[in-house]
Structure 1
Amino acid sequence: MSARRTGPGAACAALLLTGCAAGGLGPAGEQLGAPAGAPDLEVQTVVDGLSNPWDVALTPGGTALVTERGGRLLAHDAQGTREVAADLDDLFVGSEAGLMGLAVSPEFDRTREFFLCHATRTEDGGPRDVRVTRWRLDGSARAAERTGTVVDGLPISTGRHSGCRLRFAPDGTLRVGTGDAAQGENPQDLGSLGGKTLRLHPDGTVPDDNPFADRPGSAAAVYTLGHRNVQGLAVQPGTGDMWSAEHGPGRDDEINELRPGGNYGWDPVPGYDESTPMTDLEKFPDAVEAAWSSGRPTVAVSGAAFLEGPQWGAWDGALAVAELKNTGVGVYRVEGAGITGTTRMEELENDYGRLRSLTLDEEGALWVTTSNGGDDAVLRVTARPAS
C-alpha cells in the first residue's frame, strides 16, 4: 500500500462554485454553494495493475472484493491480492456490459454470501441478459461458488446502458439499479426490468409491500421507474433513504432521492430519442424532479456513497459521487430531499483519471476504483479534520 498524494481541501471548499470548485445546477438551475470546513485527505493506492475495476465491497473482516468488467473477481487483504476462482463461463463482455456490481451480504459473518450483477451470453456468444447472482466465498477467499440467481431477465442489447449497481438497504432488501439497454420503451414499461431500480429479498423473492407487487402486468420487483442508466446507489445514514446517480444523454446527469413507486421521467420514444429531457415534466407532471442535475455538459456521474464520521468534518453526512468524465469526486450537501451545496475532493482531481465506484469501509475511509481501461487501481481515501 503506497501513499500517492496528500493535501488540504479546506481553502477550495470554503469558496463558492464560481471559485475553484467545479459544480452543477440544481433542479431550478441555481448555482449551489460549497460547504466550508472540508477535511484534509490522504489517498493511498491499495491495488494497482487492474483493468476496468467496476466495483469494490468490504467484508466484515476487512477483505476487499473487487470486480473487473472483463470477468475477474479479486480479493485483497493483509496477505495481498489474489484472483478468486469463480465460474463465470456464461459472462458476456461487450460495450459497457460485463462483470459489474458487487454487494456483500449483511449476514456475511454467518453465510459468507455476496452478490454479483453481470451480463450473460447465449450459446453462440451473443448477449442474453443481465442478472444478479448469489455466491458463497470460501474461508480462504480464494474460491467462490455460485449458489443461485436472485433476478434475471434484465434487458440487454449491445451492452450499452447495462447498469448495474447493487446496494443493501437497512431493511435487508437488495436494491438493484438497472440501465434501459438503450431501448426507448423500457424505462416506462412496468413489465420490463430495464431503466428501473428493483427491490428484492436476497433469496430472490419480492417483498409484499413493493409498490407494484399487486399490479397486473407489472414486474413485482420494480421499486422506481423512468431511469436511463443507474450507476450509483447510496444509503443515507440516519434516514435509511436510498439515493441514486445516473447518466443523462447530452445533458442532465442526475442525483435522485428514490421514492417507492416514483417515476423519474425518462421516456425516449419514439425510437431512442436522446434529445428527450431526462425528467420530462410535460409528459409526466408528477415525475420526481432531480435533487441535482448537471445541466450541460454532463460529468458522467457514477458510484456514490454517503460520507460518515467526525473525521470528515463539514462533509460528515454529505454524498460523494464519482465522475468518469470530470475525473474526480463531487461532494454534495444533502438537506431533506434536496441538495444545497457542492464541492470537490481536490486530492482526487485529475490525478487518477476516470473514477467509477465509491464504497465506505467500517473505519469511514472511502474506497475508490479507477476506470481507465489499463493500469487501473483501487484507492483508499482517509480523512482528518482540517488543521
Structure 2
Amino acid sequence: MASRTIDGPGSGLGPLVPGKPRPTPIRRGRPKAPIPKGLAASLAVFLLLSVMLVASRPAAAVSGTLEVMYDQLHWPIALAFAPDGRIFFATRYDGRIMIIENGTVLSTPFYQFDHFGKWHDQGLLGLALDPSFPNEPWVYAYYSYNETVNGPDYNRIVRVQATGDTGGSMEVLLDHIPTGVWHIGGPIQFGPDGKLYAVIGDSYNAANAQNLTSLAGKVLRLNPDGSVPDDNPFAGNSSVNPYIFTYGHRNNFGIAFQPTTGDVFVTENGPTCNDEVNRLIPGRNYGWGPVGFAATAGVCPSPPSVNDTNQDGPDPVLPLVWYTPNIAPTNAIIYDGPNFAPWHGDMFFGTWNTRNLHHLHLAPPLYDSVVSDDIVTTLPDTDLGGVLDVEVGLDGAIWLTSQTSIYRFYDTSPLPIASFTTSPTRAFPGDAVIFNGSASYDPNGSIQSYAWDFGDGFSASGVVVSHTYSTYGEYEVTLVVTDFDNLTGSETASIRVLALPSALFAFGPPRPLEGASVTFDASKSTDPDGNISEYRWEWGDGSDPSLATRSVADHTFAKFGAYLVKLTVTDTDGLTDSTSASVRVFAPPSAVFTFSPASPHAGQVVTLNGSASFHPDSQIVSYEWDLGDGSTGTGPIVQHRFSAAGSYLVALTIMESEGFTATAYDTLSVNASYPPVASFAVSSALVSPGTEVTFNASQSTDPQGSILAYTWDFGDGTTGADMTTVHAYPDSGA
C-alpha cells in the first residue's frame, strides 16, 4: 500500500503507516543546557522511579465502543455541534459546509466557498459556531483563498450568517494569512473567554514562526467580530501583529480548552521527530524557527532531544509531552461531557500516522501536567486515513472524523451496582434503621465511596449507616456508589416508617343495668398512615370475644358487677393497639309493698308497708308514696285513711344510694262505710234513787264488722263505757 501524507517533506504528520500503531513513548522537556554525567544518571534514576510510580496507579477502567455514524464522505475535516441538535461539518477539498439534521446529511450545502484553494495542505480547514448560536447566527470558517485564477493564495478567517439551514452573507474577519503548500494549520475554536482562536502553521518557512509581524507559525486570538481583543498579549505594540497570542510554532493541528482553568492546549507536528502537546502561555515563544529547522533537516539527531525543535527565540516553553517517532497529532479536546467520568478534565487528540485517539490524563486541580498517556481507540483497518477532527458531541460521546467517515466513540464502561438492605424491615419513628450497602459491587474494580440520601433531608456516607426517622411516612432512600474510576451507580428504594394505630372507645349508657344492651363505639380510633381493618372486643364477663370490621358493637351483661372491657384494633399493616376501660353494670332496685287491712272501708286506717323493697348491692335511701287520692307519703311504712270508697292506684318509688329508682304499683279497693246499730236493755225501768240499774248493749250490732267502743249518757249528766255498765241515779226523776 502506498504511503499517504498530509504534510510536506520532513513533516511531523509523516507517512500513513497501515496496521497497528507503534509504541509512542512520552518524552518530557529537559533543560537546554548540557547536563553533567553524574546529574544525568541521577535524573535517569529519578525518571525511572517516576515512570514506575505513574505505572503503579490503577488505570481508569473505562471502556468505549467506536461506531461509524456517517460514511462515504469526502474529507470531513471539522465538526461543530449546534445546541439544536444539528451537526455542521466542513469538507476539506470541496470547500463546503454541510449539515446533518435528524440523522441525515442534507443534500444542499449550507455554504459553498468560491475562489477556493485546495493544493495539498490547503482547503477548508477550520469550522466553529458562535458561542451563542443560533441566537447569534454566525458560522466561522478558516480556508484557503485564490484571489485570481493564477494569482496569490492566502488563508482567511470568515463568518457566514445562518438562516435556517442556509448560509447567507459572508464577512471576512482576518485576511491575507500566509499560506503555502504545507504547514498552514487549520482548526479554529471559541474559548471559554468567548474569543476565537486560530492555529496557523509556518507556511513551510521556519523563520515565520519567530517573525512577530507575520501571522504564520502562530496561535491567533480574535474577537467574534474579527477585531483585536484589548487583552491580547501584544495589543498596542506597534512592532508586533496584535492578533498574536503565542508564537514559535511549526504546524499546529489541534486546539483545546480546559474549562476549569481556562488554559489553552495545542498539538504541534514536528519534522521527522518531536511531535508536541503544548500548554499555551499568552505572549510566550514555543521555540520553533530556523535553528531548529536546520538541526532537524532531513533526519532528527540521535538520540532525540526535546531541545532539537525548541531552540529558537527567547526562553522557549517546552512541551508537556513530545513524541518520537512521529504520530502526527491532529485536533484535540478537553473532555467535559456527561459520560466517561474518570476522564473529566483530561485531554484527547487524534493522530494521523497511527490513526489513534490518545488520552492524556492531566493532574488536577491545575491540569497542567501529564500523569499518563494511553490509546483508547484506533480507526478500523478499512479506513485508509488517520484521525482528522476530535470533538465532544451533545450526547457526551467523543466524535472523530477521517477522510471518509464520521465516528462516534461512546462510553460502555460497566457501572458499579448499588444494592442495599434495611433492618428492621418494619420501622417506627424513633427507631434506629440500619442501611447496609455491602451487597453493592463494581464489575471491574472496587467501590470507593457510598453516599446515602435518606429522603428526609438527611444524608450520610459509609458502607453501613444508621438513621432515625422522626415522623412516620414513606421515604425514598437512595444509595449512590462511586468506584475507583469515578463511575457511579445508584439504587433507590422506598422505606415506610410506620405509625401505630390508636385504640379509643366510649360506651353508653354510662351506668348500664344488668340485662340491658350496652353500645360500645370505637369510631374515634385512628390510624395515621392507613386504615383500621379489625376491632376485637373482650368483654371481661367470660363470654367469647367479638371480632368485627365495624367500629360499633353491642353487648349485654347478664349480672351486675365491674367488668374490664378491652378493645384491640388492627390496621391494614397488621399493627395493633389496645385500650381497656372498666364498665360497672348495676342491678336495678326492687320496690314491693303491702296493704293492711287488705280490704279497708272508707275512713278506716290502712297501713302501707314497703319495707320488703330491696337492692342487692346498695341501700335504699328514700321511699316516696303516691296514695292515689292526691295524698303522698314518705318512709318505708305509712298509714292513711281513705275517706271514700273506691279503687286507688297506690305507687311506691324507691331510690337506692347510686340514684337508681324502682316503682311498684298496686290497686287498693276501699269499701263503703255503714254505721253500727245500738241496742241495749235495762235491768229495771223503775227504781228508787240510789238503786243500781244495769245497762246491757250486747244486742248492738255492726253490719261491716265489730263494735269497737260503747259510750253511755245516763241522762243525769253522767256517762259510762263498756258494753255492760251499772249506774245509780241519786235523785228521783225520769
Aligned match of 2:322: 293
Secondary structure of the structure 2 residue equivalent to 1:120: strand
Kept in 1, the 8 Å contact 2:141–2:158? The answer is yes
Larger RCO (alpha carbons 8 Å, 6+ apart): 1
Equivalent position of 2:371 in the other structure: 340
1:200 corresponds to which residue? Answer: 222
Task: Give the Cα separation in 2 of the matches to 1:167 and 1:283.
Answer: 27
CA offset at residue 216 of structure 1? 2.0
Seen in structure 2, the aligned counterparts of structure 1 residues 216 and 278 have a Cα distance that, compared at 3 Å, is: farther
Q: Please point out which of 114, 120, 126 is paired with 1:89.
A: 114
Instruction: Provide the C-alpha distance between the structure 2 equivalents of 1:327 and 1:270, rounded to a whole number of angstroms.
Output: 27
Q: Deviations over 1:295-337 (max 9, x none)?
A: x211000010112246314222211110000011110011232
Task: Please list the CA deviations of residues 98-125 of structure 1 after superposition, one character each: whole Å capped at 9, or x if unmatched.
Answer: 0111011111121221100000013124
Taking a change above 3 Å as real, the CA distance of residues 284 and 186 of structure 1, as seen in their structure-2 partners, is: closer
Residue 409 (structure 2) aligns with? 381
For 1:43-80, what per-residue CA distance to the aligned partner results, in whole angstroms no more than 9, with x for missing partners?
22221111221111111111111111111221102151
| Number of aligned residues | 360
Alpha carbons of structure 1 residues 45 and 57: separation in structure 2 relative to 1, 3 Å: same
Matching residue's letter, 1:134: R
Say whether 1:190 aligns with 2:212.
yes
CA distance in 2, matches of 1:75, 1:126: 32
Gaps spanning 5+ residues in structure 2: where?
Answer: 1-20, 31-46, 415-442, 444-734
Which residue of structure 1 aligns with residue 200 of structure 2?
178
Q: Once superposed, what is the RMSD of the aligned Cα atoms?
A: 2.4
- The equivalences for 1:159-238 within 5 A come to 160-238=182-260
**Could you tell me how far apart the structure 1 residues matched to 2:377 and 2:194 are?**
35
* Aligned mates of 1:260, 1:65 — CA distance in 2: 30
Q: What does residue 568 of structure 2 align with?
A: none
Give the Cα–Cα distance (whole angstroms) in 2 for the partners of residues 274 and 51 of structure 1: 34
1:99 lines up with 2:124 in the alignment: yes
CA distance in 2, matches of 1:21, 1:249: 18
Deviation readout 1:267-321 (Å, 9 max, x if unpaired): 0259876438875555446111100100x21100001011224631422221111
Partner of 2:69: 46
Letter in 1 for 2:369: G
3-state SS of paired residue (2:64): strand
Match of 1:80 in 2: 104
The answer on 1:64 being equivalent to 2:87 is yes
Contact 2:248–2:313 (8 Å) recurs in 1: no
Quote the Cα distance in structure 1 between the aligned partners of 2:213 and 2:396. 39
2:333 paired with 1:311: no
TM-score (norm 1): 0.86
- Aligned: 1:135 with 2:166: no
Cross-structure match for 2:25: 24
* Structure 1 position 209, deviation (Å): 1.3
Q: How far did 1:182 drift?
A: 0.1
Q: Residues of 1 paired with 2:233 and 2:198: CA distance?
A: 15
Q: 1:165 to 1:127 in 2, by over 3 A?
A: farther
The verdict on how the C-alpha distance between 1:23 and 1:351 changes in structure 2, with shifts beyond 3 A counting, is farther
CA spacing shift, 1:187–1:278, aligned 2, 3 Å? farther
Q: For the structure 1 residues 349 and 328, does the alpha-carbon distance in structure 2 shift closer, same or farther, using more than 3 Å as the test?
A: farther
Structure 1, unmatched stretches of 5+, are 1-19
Name which one, 1 or 2, has greater alpha-carbon Rg: 2
Q: Which amino acid aligns with 2:28?
A: P
Q: Is 1:148 equivalent to 2:171 in the alignment? A: yes
Aligned CA distance change for structure 1 residues 327 and 357 (closer, same or farther; 3 Å): same
CA contact (8 A) 1:102 1:115 kept: yes
The letter of the residue matching 2:393 is D
CA distance in 1, matches of 2:334, 2:412: 16
Match of residue 241, structure 1, among 256, 263, 266:
263
Instruction: Confirm or deny that 1:267 pairs with 2:267.
Output: no
CA distance in 1, matches of 2:326, 2:244: 27
* Structure 2 CA distance for partners of 1:119 and 1:283, relative to 1, 3 Å: closer
Q: Distance in 2 between matches of 1:273 and 1:282?
A: 10
Question: Which of 41-50 and 99-108 deviates more?
Answer: 41-50
SS at match of 2:250: coil
